[in-house]
Amino acid sequence: MRHPMSSDTLQYRVVVNAEEQYSVWFLERPLPTGWTETGTTGTREACLAHIAEVWTDLTPRSVRERRGSVAA
């Protein structure tokens, strides 16, 4: 018998902050201040796989802006 809060039953969402840094957050919990939803939800593994696809430059946005490498 699986625990009702096992990792394969919990639902998460992908969130992003102003620095364009991504994370996963429990679906049933309110978003922390400074983070917004991306629209992607699912298992933790699925959300992390999505983040791996879309977060290709781990450099914070403010640093990229100073270097002039942020697209308008």
What is the CATH number for 52? 3.90.820.10
pTM of the model: 0.79
Residue with tokens 């991306």: 38
CA 34: distance to chain centroid? Answer: 12
Residue 3 has pLDDT above 90, yes or no: no
When divided into structural domains, the chain yields a total of 1
State pLDDT tens for residues 15-50: 999 999 999 999 999 999 999 999 999 999 999 999
* 3, part of any domain: no
Residue 53's domain comprises 12-67
* 58, part of any domain: yes
